[in-house]
Amino acid sequence: MATYQPHDRYYRKARARGLVSRAAFKIEEIIKRSKLVRRDARIADLGCAPGGWLVILARAVGPAGRVVGVDLARCPNPPPPAVTIVGDITDAETVERAIAAVGGPADLVTSDLAPKLSGITARDQAQSEHLLSAARAFAGRALKPGGAMVAKVFMGGDFKQIVADFAHDFEQVEVTRTAATRPGSSELYIVARGRKSKDT
């Protein structure tokens, strides 16, 4: 069985590069591999705290881009041009504030949303799926036709149905695991491209 190593290679690498979390390496790997971000893009990053993904996304879009992070927790000092919103993404008012802050049809929605774990597997799974479906609904509102989404998902439960739901909304869906994900974790990422237009 995999052992949990809080101070593993990625933790040390994050510290050495001045990144707030090892999570940054996950989005760095995904956007590099899948060539998902162009300069000047508009991005919404759901579940952004403490801000690891924001650093990578802000760097990738450059000063004329737009990155809007949303989280229940405050995310101190977001790197320009990123801005953040404190709020619950399952709440309609937060969704409206985030969409307004993005300022136009988004090129990419990223979601690293994860619930506070209770240790009760069925409950944690249900909470994760609830957050994922809120992220998918948000993407349905915010993305431009042809836009892309990256979303954290956990293997188990309704995994097959989740992938099918994304395939309904996007032309191309792949499921990937990142090198920075902790050994033994069931965490995966859905990379979905080509958001279908709403009337298809």
Ligand X SMILES: C[S@@+](CC[C@H](N)C(=O)[O-])C[C@H]1O[C@@H](n2cnc3c(N)ncnc32)[C@H](O)[C@@H]1O
Site residues, ligand X (CB under 6 A) = 21, 23-24, 47-53, 70-73, 88-90, 112-115, 131
Closer residue to ligand X, CB minimum distance, 72 or 175: 72
| 111 and 135 Cβ atoms separated by less than 8 Å | yes
Sign of the dihedral defined by the CA atoms of residues 125, 78, 10, 4, in that order = negative
Sign of the dihedral defined by the CA atoms of residues 24, 26, 32, 34, in that order = negative
Whole-number minimum distance, CB 186 to ligand X, in Å? 14
Chain centroid to CA 27: how far?
Answer: 8
Residue 190 β-bridge partners: 151, 175
Closer residue to ligand X, CB minimum distance, 145 or 162: 162
Q: Look up 35 and say whether it is catalytic.
A: no
Whole-number minimum distance, CB 86 to ligand X, in Å? 9
Whole-number minimum distance, CB 96 to ligand X, in Å? 14
Closer residue to ligand X, CB minimum distance, 50 or 146: 50
Closer residue to ligand X, CB minimum distance, 81 or 146: 81
Closer residue to ligand X, CB minimum distance, 48 or 67: 48
Whole-angstrom distance, CA of residue 90 vs CA of residue 138: 9
- Catalytic, out of 116, 144, 152, 196: 152
Whole-angstrom distance, CA of residue 61 vs CA of residue 41: 6
How many of the other CB atoms lie within 10 Å of CB of 106?
Answer: 26
Whole-number minimum distance, CB 4 to ligand X, in Å? 15
165 sits in which H/E element: helix 159-169
159 sits in which H/E element: helix 159-169
Whole-angstrom distance, CA of residue 19 vs CA of residue 52: 6
Whole-number minimum distance, CB 127 to ligand X, in Å? 8
Place of tokens 């790997």: 29
Q: Which residues are catalytic?
A: 152
